[in-house]
Chains A and B, each alone.
Chain A
Amino acid sequence: MSAAPDHTPTFAKHSITDRIGQAAPYLLVPVLILAGFIAIGAPTSWLTLTVSGLAMGMMIFIMASGLTLVFGLMDIINFGHGAFISLGAFVGVSVLFGLGGWTDAASLPLNIAAILLAILAAMLLTGALAWAFERVIVRPVYGSHLKQILITVGALIVIEEAIHVIWGGEETFLNRPNALRGAVTFAGAALEKYRILAVVVGLAIFFGLRLVLQRTKIGLIVRAGVENPDMVEALGYRLRLVFVGVFIAGSALAGLGGVMWALYEQVITAGMGENMMVLIFIVVIIGGLGSVEGAFVGALLVGLLQNYVAFLEPKLALVSNIGLMTVILLWRPQGMMTVAKGS
């Protein structure tokens, strides 16, 4: 028998550099904001861009969080995730149109109530569709990434086209509810009210998700399942049911993101979710597949960079995110925060 010299706890060996290594991804956000400040020069423009970058990042995070968890938990890659974004946007916007009296009233509570109802409807419908989607589309192709990609792409097209058939038209324009139009001025910079709301909602979702993942038994099961699904089963939990729940919740979040994105862009198309998938994939890859924290940091980086670059050199905005992805993959080939598989 070989003697393993490992009785001394390795816990004490955690050095300063290890800790900085773990915190480094979070530090990238302030570093990027600072770099933006230096590159842009004008403080007011910089503040406006930073807020809109954060707002955009938060919305991308909301859409990306479900995708990364679904992958981490069941090794399922869903290219059809964008369909839930589009569907959420169309359902939410239809509700907002229906509640036109509330959204046009100069009353913040009525406006917020209309948005909440729109979000509720969008999340319920996308969640319901996700339940069917998981059963019909995803379940038969467990274990084969190739088939998952093919079949979810097919489903994405069908759902997008179905949106065309149901709602018709190419582009639908909308106005934000009355109280959320316009901007507030802070330190000389114009900050759009809606973007501030988006940041608040995004933060709430992030901390809510973290709370669930860190403090509840479901959260423990999800985190453990990302690492070692078999062992979670062997400890007596039906991971399948948890997974279906995560899939539905993640898709409902995509629907929520869709509503928020619709109010941000003030125009919706059936293909909007598909277009968002490009940024979402970049976020999920640089964050590390399966990591919610990674997706959060990645989304903020992408949102900020996109806004700074669009100001400095508009044509390079999307390319800059490819550059960001390249740099991060050079630094950490698995993404910023990886989830250990097996032990």
Chain B
Amino acid sequence: MVRFLLSGDAPRSRILAVLLALVLVGLAFAPFIFPGVRALHTAATICIFILLVASYDLLLGYTGIVSFAHTMFFGLGAYGVALASVHMGRGWDALAVGTLAGALAATVLAWLIGLFSLRVRAIFFAMITLAVASAVAVLVSQLYQLTGGEDGLTYQIPRELTPAFRFGELFGVRLNGRLLNYYLVFFTCLALFLLLLRIVNSPFGRVLQAIRENDFRAEAIGYRVVVYRTAATCMSAAIAALAGSLYAIWLRYVGPDTTLSFEIMIDVLLMVVIGGMGTMYGAVIGATIFVLAQNYLQNLMGLAAEATAGLPLIPDLVDPNRWLMWLGVLFVLSVYFFPTGIVGRLRAGR
């Protein structure tokens, strides 16, 4: 049964299996194990980023192409839900329409970008996605009548998904709409993650990996490289958009900073690389570690900066605003010394 769900792609390392089980159990019972609003928010963010990073890994790790537009697709899903909720009013139909529209828009846009860039050289893709993503980000902030600009949009979601909807108590935890919302996020992410696992272990996924290893040879054997790469791009974009929709439903707010910014793109890149490219499970490990670190380590940096306030340079370096610098350093070092990521290491060291 487990084997079937994992599409035959076992963790292949005892430590990894234990870690994955811990994450799964931790997230599945998060509302009961880690009480508190902030902890639940962290857990939901982890779920969504696992999905987002896994969908990115389909592109980066399995297909071997770099995209800088992944947060754009993520944002399309989020803005889809937001715009539908604003214009159609609070309701399940708005969520459904917004989610579908966002996923569809992401797929079409991914297909168009793929058409223009993958036909020529895979390296075009990285540059063109960067250009398109930044144009979209600029557009979103300029079309403020529609998108709320830099302020973003807040909107109402169905009452059943909000804290106001209460229906009892279990193990001392109050059961409310927020809890339902969390489980909507959790189970959707789990299902889509398993779907991704299925995709990469299907014949289609094997062809993608063959293309990653040697695109000339794959073409020579008779696979149409462009078609496969474009298809992977579209799938990856659609799932990223779904993750974005979930995020929008969870936050009840969208804005450029939470869904579209280049910084989130960097975060996603880092999560994939640290977790391990081309492994899917790397997304789970990478996203979990990263989100936890982001939520709790930055506080620590703030404390360190205060403690060293009298010294030269050091408070500047450990200032929480310099978080990104240390990420960058970590990123460069992991590409050099740790290219297979945590999952790759665990599997090799088995």
Chain A–chain B contact at Cβ < 8 A: yes
| Residues of chain A having any CB pair with chain B under 8 Å | 77, 79, 137, 140-141, 145-147, 149-151, 153-158, 161-162, 164-165, 168, 274-275, 277-278, 281-282, 284-285, 289, 315, 318-319, 321-322, 325-326, 329-330, 333-334
Q: Is the CB of B116 within 8 A of A147?
A: no
Q: Is the CB of B325 within 8 A of A157?
A: yes
Docked CA distance A12–B316 (Å):
68
Docked CA distance A162–B328 (Å):
11
- Inter-chain contacts of A165 with B (CB < 8 A): 313, 316-317, 322, 325
Q: Is the CB of B269 within 8 A of A153?
A: yes
Distance between B334 CB and nearest chain A CB, rounded to angstroms:
9
Docked CA distance A281–B138 (Å):
17
Docked CA distance A146–B66 (Å):
7
Which residues of chain B in 120-146 are interfacial with respect to chain A, using CB atoms and an 8 Å cutoff?
120-124, 126-128, 130-132, 134-135, 138-139, 142-143
- Per-residue CB contact flags for chain B residues 258-296 toward chain A (1 = under 8 Å, else 0) read 000010001001000100000000000000000000000
Q: List 5 A-B contacts (CB under 8 A).
A: A145-B66, A145-B123, A161-B322, A162-B325, A315-B143
- A-B pairs with beta carbons under 8 A, tally: 106
- Inter-chain contacts of B142 with A (CB < 8 A): 315
Q: Is the CB of B335 within 8 A of A333?
A: no
**Given A154-B331, A281-B128, 19 further pairs, Cβ under 8 A:** A77-B127, A79-B126, A137-B332, A145-B126, A149-B66, A150-B335, A154-B328, A154-B329, A154-B335, A161-B328, A165-B322, A275-B134, A277-B130, A289-B123, A315-B139, A319-B135, A326-B116, A329-B116, A329-B120
- Inter-chain contacts of A141 with B (CB < 8 A): 335
- Inter-chain contacts of B138 with A (CB < 8 A): 318-319
Q: Is the CB of A147 within 8 A of B339?
A: yes
- Take A326-B116, A333-B120 as given contacts and tell me if A164 and B66 are in contact as well, using a CB distance cutoff of 8 Å: no
Distance between B58 CB and nearest chain A CB, rounded to angstroms:
14
Q: Is the CB of A322 within 8 A of B332?
A: no
- By size class, the interface of chain B is 35 or more
Secondary structure at the A interface, as helix, strand, loop or mixed, is: helix
Indicate if B64 sits at the interface (CB-CB under 8 A): yes
Q: Is the CB of B331 within 8 A of A157?
A: yes
Distance between A147 CB and nearest chain B CB, rounded to angstroms:
6
Q: Is the CB of A149 within 8 A of B332?
A: no
- Least CB separation from B142: chain A residue: A315
Q: Is the CB of B332 within 8 A of A151?
A: yes
Q: Is the CB of B327 within 8 A of A157?
A: yes
Docked CA distance A157–B273 (Å):
16
7 tightest A-B CB contacts, nearest first: A161-B325, A157-B328, A154-B331, A158-B328, A154-B332, A281-B127, A278-B134
Docked CA distance A46–B143 (Å):
26
- Inter-chain contacts of A145 with B (CB < 8 A): 66, 122-123, 126
